[in-house]
Chains A and B, each alone.
Chain A
Amino acid sequence: MTLVYLVELYELNSKAKQEKIATFVMREDFPGNVSIEGNHDHPVVVAIKGEGVFDYKYAKPNKLFPWDGMVFLENLKYHFRSGYLLATDIQKKTIDI
C-alpha cells in the first residue's frame, strides 16, 4: 500500500462545463517527482511543464516544476484559480502497487 498525493486540474469549455485536463500525482515514496496523468499535449499541460508555476505559497521568485514535488502540488490551487482553469486542493489516496 502506498500513499499518493494528487491534484486535479479542470478547464471550462466554451459551454461553461468543466472538463478535467490532468491529474498531478506524487507517490509518498518518490517525493521528488510529480507525474502527470492526462493528455501531455494539452497546451496547458505543455505550459506547466515548460514554464512552471509561480511559488505563491512561499513567495520565492523561482518557478516550480513537477520535479519540485510537494511544493509544486501545493501551489497548483493558487496558480489555477480563475474558474476558466481551476485546480483542486491536494487529495490523499492509498493505492496498491
Chain B
Amino acid sequence: MKQRGAHTALEVEHKYARYAEMASWVVMILVLLFVRFIPQEIIDKDSVYYLAGGIMSFALLYYYVFTKYLNPRQRFWIKNVTDVVFIAILIHLLQDFKTFFFALYLLPLISAALYLNVIDSLLLATTAVLFVGAEIFLQSQELIQPERLIIGSWQIAFMVFITLFTRFLALQLVEERSAKKRAVRESVRAGEISRIQRDFIAQSGHQLLTPLSIIQGNVSLFLAGTLGKTSPKQKEFLETIYRHTQRLVKIVDEMMRLASAEERRATLHVQPSDLNELVETAVDEMRPRAEEKGLKVHFEAAGGLPKLLLDPDKIEQVILNVMDNAVKYTKKGLIFITVKKMPGSWVQVAVKDTGPGIKAEDQGHLFDRFFRAPDIQQVAKEEGTGLGLSIAKVLIEKHGGKIWFESEYGKGSTFYFKLPVAH
C-alpha cells in the first residue's frame, strides 16, 4: 500500500487526475480531427488516419483491459508514455514544429510531474526531449533553416523547466496538505476529547455535589442549633449522617480531580509487537522529508529484542510526533534513531538531532499542552500545534513507560522514551 514514490506526489486516484487524463484524450482526438483540414500536399492523410485509428483502438484497450489488470499508477505511466509517442509521431507526420503541436507535449509532462514520482517524470521528460531532438536531427538532414534548431533547443529547455517546476509545485502542495491535515487532526482530537471530558466531569461533579452539599448543609444547621435545641442523642446520630456525607464529598472531589487530570481516555489495544519494525516503519515515513531538507537519517535497531506488549498505533504515533519535531526544527546535520535494550527489562528508543536545542527556561514546559518555545518561529516556518509531545507523554505513560530528553541550546536535543518488557 505504501508505494515508494506515492507520498511524494499527489495521489493518482485524485479526482483531478482522472479529469486531466480524459482531457488529454479529448485534446488528442480533436487535434487529429483538425488534421483533416490540412492540405493534402503537406501531409499524407492516410498515415494520419491510421494513427487516429491506432489511438482509438489503444483508447479502448486502455480503458477496458488495462483498467482491469493494472494499478492506477502503472496505467498512468503507460498512458503518458503513449501520449508522448503519439505526439512525436504526429509531429513527424505533420512536419510541423510550431507551438501548437509542440504544446501537446506539455499535457503528459505536467500530469506526469504532478502525479508520478521523480524518476518516472524525469524519464518521461527525457523521452519527450529525445523525440524533439530526433525530429530536429531528421529535419536538419533535409537542410532546413538553423532557426529550426534554435526553436527546437528552446522547446527542449522549456519542457525540462516545466517538468521540474511542476514537480516542485506538486511537492509543495503535498507537504502543505499533509501538514495541515495532521495539525487539524491532532488539535481536533485533543480539543474534542478534552472539551467533552471537561464538560462531563463538570456536569457529573455538579450533579453529585449539589445534593450532597445540601444534605451536609442541612445537617449542619441541626448540629449548630439553628433549628432549635437537639438532644445529645439526636446530635450523635446527626453527626453520623454528617460524617458520612463528608466522606462522600471527599470521594467525589477526588474522583473529579483524577478524571480531569487524565488527559486522554484512549483505550490501549495492546498486542505483542516488534518495536524495531515499528520504529523502522516510522523512520521510513519520515525519511523523504528529512532527506529533502538535506538531513541525514540513521537508524540502528536493537539486537535480540523480544516482542513488547504495546499498542502499535499509539507507539507509532509517539515516534512520529518525536521525529516530526526533530525534522521540523533541524536545519542541517543528522537525525539518529536508535532502539536499545536496557538493563532492568526496559527498551529505550532515542531520537537524536543536531537541531537548535531547547533553552533552559523552556525545558520545564516542553511536555505542556499547546506549548511551543517562544523563539520557535525563527527556527521553523512550519506551523505546529504544540500538542505532539504532550500527547506522546500521555501515551508513553499509559504504557507504563517514561519519556524525557536531554538538550543543549545551540547543539541539539535527544529525546528518549522507554517501555517495559513484559514477562
Task: Answer whether A and B are interacting partners.
Answer: no
Q: Which residues of A contact B (CB under 8 A)?
A: none
